């Protein structure tokens, strides 16, 4: 059980559950309006609950207007900007404490991992209560890994459980030079595998244009659109076998923004299966959100499935932050969830797997209570 220490009396007492420490209504949004109205008398320190975390850190918040180049990492609880230190993401903002949590959710197989991820997304949207003046903003990936998750989200929509009418989406990347209507473009992928099956307004589905006349201007405009939307509430991502997220290949800056990127040979080889195995047909450049762009999201969920990504998961979870494995940067994000199947854990230590499997009763509470009322499961 977590404990709260009062510095004046040094009196310990049980703390409320993490989600209740600081209501989202008090800590929401990059505008910081709530911060300008509330200033607690003194800081209070709460150990993060071990039942909810693998990598735990403390964060004292501070919302003053400090240069982003120095601070660099956004707190997912209040959207202030802070500087991550190790895996303990310190973000200073009006003496309010935010606990950095990294979860690893391990399911038996790909289908169960996809279902868990879809239920989590569904619950986050429902709990947010989006409306005409309050859109939920969702970051989305492409590739083979999220297909099962998309199928489940479509199922929930068709069953009347979920609406995307007041959801805005931002996709991670797009190939450069591939026509929008090409079957392997990410515009085609998203339309065929997701968007045409749900009730999202096409004007609210944002995908980078790899055929723009000015590619840098396109990247800058994409960042501006994210900012105008109020930032990303939940960014869902996948990774490659070399640990890259979006097209942030090994060696990418961990504070990078949306930009033009040359693809690594490993990525080109992995994507050749979508182009009849012909390497000459695979695009060699892409537009991609940066690691820093994804880190700015209030919450990040990364899907990792298959034995071929086991070493990347090991690098993401059990080793330190390294720009050669860009997914490792999310150890520093205050709210990261890695969702994986059993095969993806093959390179992890036995005690690591046992520890996180022992927390599944905690993780399942993130998807079961609200969803079961609608699903009847």
pLDDT, one tens digit per residue, over 292-306 is: 999 999 999 999 999
Give me the pLDDT at residue 368, please. Answer: 75
Across the range 269-282, mean pLDDT stands at 91
Active-site residue (options: 174, 249, 299, 343): 249
Q: Would the pLDDT of 268 be above 70?
A: yes
Active-site residue (options: 157, 244, 333, 363): 244
Q: Would the pLDDT of 240 be above 80?
A: yes
- Residue 315, C-beta contacts closer than 8 angstroms, at least 6 positions apart: 243, 322, 325, 327, 328
pLDDT, one tens digit per residue, over 148-169 is: 999 999 999 999 999 999 999 9
The yes-or-no answer on residue 244 being catalytic is: yes
pLDDT, one tens digit per residue, over 54-108 is: 444 444 433 333 333 333 334 444 443 333 333 334 444 333 344 557 899 999 9
Instruction: Read off the tokens for 87.
Output: 């895996």
Give me the pLDDT at residue 84, please. Answer: 37
For residue 237, how far is the Cα from the chain centroid?
A: 6
Across the range 123-141, mean pLDDT stands at 96
More confident call, 314 vs 14: 314
Give me the helices (H) in the chain, please: 18-21, 24-27, 33-37, 68-71, 110-128, 147-158, 186-193, 215-228, 265-271, 291-295, 310-317, 350-357, 360-363, 368-375
Active-site residue (options: 174, 242, 341, 343): 242
Across the range 332-358, mean pLDDT stands at 96
pLDDT, one tens digit per residue, over 181-233 is: 999 999 999 999 999 999 999 999 999 999 999 999 999 999 999 999 999 99
Give me the pLDDT at residue 366, please. Answer: 86
Q: In whole numbers, what is the pLDDT of the chain averaged over residues? A: 79
Q: What is d(CA 118, CA 239) in angstroms, rounded to the nearest whole number?
A: 17
Sheet strand arrangement including 234-238: 55-60, 97-107, 335-341, 300-304, 234-238, 136-140, 167-171, 205-206
Active-site residue (options: 173, 174, 299, 341): 173
Pairing mode of beta strands 259-262, 173-175: unpaired
Give me the pLDDT at residue 266, please. Answer: 86
Half-sphere exposure of 164 (CA within 13 A, CB side): 24
- Residue 372, C-beta contacts closer than 8 angstroms, at least 6 positions apart: none
Q: Would the pLDDT of 11 be above 90?
A: no
- What is each CA distance from 352 to 104, 335, 347, in whole angstroms? 10, 19, 10
- Residue 325, C-beta contacts closer than 8 angstroms, at least 6 positions apart: 242, 243, 250, 312, 315, 316, 319
What residue ranges define each of the domains in the chain, with the CATH number in brackets? 103-260+288-342+355-366 (3.40.50.1360)
Burial group, residue 150, by CB count within 10 angstroms (0-12, 13-18, 19+): buried
The yes-or-no answer on residue 242 being catalytic is: yes
């Amino acid at each position: 059980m977590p404990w709260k220490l009062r510095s004046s009396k040094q009196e310990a007492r049980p703390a409320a559950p993490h989600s209740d420490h600081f209501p989202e209504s008090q800590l929401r949004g990059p505008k910081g309006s709530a911060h300008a109205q509330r200033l607690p008398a003194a800081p209070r320190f709460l150990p993060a609950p071990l039942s909810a975390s693998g990598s735990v850190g403390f964060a004292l918040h501070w919302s003053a207007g400090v240069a982003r180049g120095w601070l660099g990492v956004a707190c997912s609880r209040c959207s202030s900007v802070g500087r991550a230190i190790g895996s303990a993401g310190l973000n200073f903002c009006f003496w309010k404490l935010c606990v950095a949590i990294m979860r690893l959710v391990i399911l038996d197989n790909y289908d169960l991992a996809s279902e868990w991820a879809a239920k989590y997304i569904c619950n986050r949207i429902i709990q947010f209560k989006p409306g005409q003046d309050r859109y939920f903003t969702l970051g989305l990936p492409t590739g083979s890994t999220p297909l099962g998750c998309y199928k489940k989200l479509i199922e929930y929509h068709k069953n009347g459980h979920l609406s995307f009418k007041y959801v805005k989406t931002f996709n991670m990347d797009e190939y450069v030079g591939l026509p929008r209507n090409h079957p392997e473009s990410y515009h085609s992928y998203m339309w065929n595998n997701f968007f045409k099956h749900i009730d999202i307004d096409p004007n609210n589905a944002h995908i980078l244009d790899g055929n723009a006349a000015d590619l840098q201007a396109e990247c800058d405009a994409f960042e501006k659109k994210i900012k105008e939307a109020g930032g990303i509430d939940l960014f869902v991502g996948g990774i490659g076998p070399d640990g890259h997220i979006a097209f942030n290949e090994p060696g990418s800056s961990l504070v990078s923004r949306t930009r033009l990127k040359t693809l690594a040979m490993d990525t080109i080889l992995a994507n050749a299966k979508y182009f009849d195995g012909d390497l000459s047909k695979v695009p060699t450049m892409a537009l991609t959100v940066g690691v820093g762009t994804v880190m700015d999201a209030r919450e990040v969920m990364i899907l990792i499935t298959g034995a071929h990504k086991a070493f990347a998961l090991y690098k993401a979870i059990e080793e330190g932050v390294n720009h050669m494995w860009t997914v490792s940067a999310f150890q520093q994000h205050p709210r990261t969830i890695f969702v994986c199947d059993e095969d993806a854990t093959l390179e992890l230590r036995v005690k690591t797997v046992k520890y996180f499997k022992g927390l599944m009763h905690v993780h399942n509470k993130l998807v079961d209570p609200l969803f079961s009322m609608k699903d009847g499961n």
